[in-house]
């Protein structure tokens, strides 16, 4: 088993809520921290100058999606995935049917998204072997 990044589709605007619910489930022991390593809502800072005033706001890079770093076991992956799928606001894992094992995104895709959101520095060690 190895840590891989997966994309979870959510209702637009529910990204933060779903992320918080997954964190609560980790804290309560409903989800194993050995399997769910990290949840990210990738955002980038955008600087706008309007009426001569500088404003910084955050835009979601993947509106309607969150990234989940999972270490899915060969046996028992369905339990974890079903717990995530049944959170209110979650549509499922991108690219798979509910009864299929989710497919991870490539390491390059994950690296690019995390680097754009400014969080890639935290994961640079994970990607050094690529």
Q: Are 77 and 20 in contact (CB under 8 A)?
A: no
Q: What is the pLDDT of residue 121?
A: 57
Q: What is the mean pLDDT of residues 37-63?
A: 87
Task: Kindly report, residue by residue over 73-99, the tens digit of the pLDDT.
Answer: 888 899 999 999 999 999 999 988 888
- Please give the structure tokens belonging to residue 80: 């974890």
- The pTM of this model reads 0.81
Three-class HEC string of 47-112: EEEECCEEEEEEEECCCCEEEEEECCCCCCHHHHHHHHHCCCCEEEECCCCCCCCCCCCCHHHHHH
Mean pLDDT of the chain: 86
Q: Are 12 and 63 in contact (CB under 8 A)?
A: yes
Nearest to residue 66, comparing CAs of 94, 46, 45?
Answer: 94
């Amino acid at each position: 088993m190895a840590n891989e990044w997966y994309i979870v589709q959510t209702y637009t605007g529910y990204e933060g809520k779903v992320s918080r619910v997954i964190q609560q489930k980790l804290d309560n022991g409903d989800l194993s921290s050995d399997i769910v390593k990290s949840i990210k809502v990738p955002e980038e800072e955008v600087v706008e100058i309007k009426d001569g005033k500088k404003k910084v706001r955050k835009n979601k890079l993947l509106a309607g999606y969150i990234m989940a770093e999972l270490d899915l076991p060969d046996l028992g992956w369905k339990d974890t995935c079903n717990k995530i799928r049944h959170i209110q606001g979650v549509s499922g894992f991108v690219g798979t049917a509910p009864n299929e094992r989710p497919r991870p995104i490539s390491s390059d895709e994950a690296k690019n998204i995390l680097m754009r959101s400014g969080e890639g520095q935290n994961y640079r060690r994970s990607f050094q072997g690529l």
